[in-house]
Amino acid sequence: MSIAGKIGSGLALLAVLGFALGLGGLPAQAADQAKALESFKDRKCTECHGLTSHGIGKPEKKAEAEEEGEKEAPDLAKLSDEVMKKADPAAFITAYLKKKEKLHDKQHKKMFKGNMEELKNLSEFLVEGAKKKAK
Ligand code: HEC
């Protein structure tokens, strides 16, 4: 190969690498917190859950949740061990909120209505927050 050819393919490789990194190829990309908080409020998670790590207090107890034997919605500043023990907690939450997974043998009370991208960001945000809390 000519020198020019070598330089050319070297540059092409660099360009590919740069492209991959620029497009979120970095392994631990943090969730978009502002977006996640917006989802949390817009999708009415706040009707049942508090998120005290972000100044969202515990909601007034809903009549729905007061039924006999009904589990109370936890503050999501922390996640339960059951969730955090999953191989991929964020993926579990995503599936759980789409009612494809169960927790305590039950589906989540509310089906997430937004798109998958929004749901994944929200799930990752919750897991990142819970991990910080656990430290
Ligand atoms: C109608 C009330 C209600 C709404 C609205 C609601 N949830 Fe829940 N959620 C619950 C209850 C009750 C539980 C506890 C279930 C259990 O532990 O078996 C729960 C559990 C969870 C868990 C598991 C927590 C853990 O660590 O065990 C996550 C995560 C979660 N909800 C996220 C959300 C998100 C995100 C939203 C908004 C898109 C939302 N929830 C909206 C009632 C609700």
Q: Give the residue among 86, 95, 84, 87 at the shortest CA–CA distance from 126.
A: 84
> At CA 91, angle to CA 90 and CA 97, rounded to 5?
90
Q: Is 49 in the pocket of ligand 1 (CB under 6 A)?
A: yes
Structural domain containing residue 19 = 1-30
**Are both 23 and 47 inside the same structural domain?**
no
The pLDDT-based confidence of 58 (bands split at 50, 70, 90) is confident
* CA–centroid distance, residue 118 to ligand 1 (Å): 16
Q: Is 108 in the pocket of ligand 1 (CB under 6 A)?
A: yes
**Are both 94 and 114 inside the same structural domain?**
yes
**Are both 17 and 75 inside the same structural domain?**
no
Atom of ligand 1 nearest to the CA of 126: 29
Specify the CATH number for the domain of residue 46.
1.10.760
119 C-beta neighbours (distance < 10 Å), count: 20
**Are both 4 and 36 inside the same structural domain?**
no
d(CA 48, CA 109): 10
Print burial letters for 74-102: b (CB count within 10 Å at least 16), e (below 16).
eebbbbeeebeebeebbebbbbbbeeeee
For residue 29, is pLDDT > 70?
Answer: yes
**Are both 75 and 107 inside the same structural domain?**
yes
**Are both 2 and 40 inside the same structural domain?**
no
Output 81 or 27, whichever has higher pLDDT. Answer: 81
* CA–centroid distance, residue 19 to ligand 1 (Å): 38
pTM for the predicted model, two decimal places? 0.81
**Are both 55 and 23 inside the same structural domain?**
no
pLDDT tens, 71-101? 889 999 999 999 999 999 999 999 999 999 9
Q: Residue whose CA is closest, atom 3 of ligand 1? A: 48
**Are both 67 and 24 inside the same structural domain?**
no
* CA–centroid distance, residue 93 to ligand 1 (Å): 9
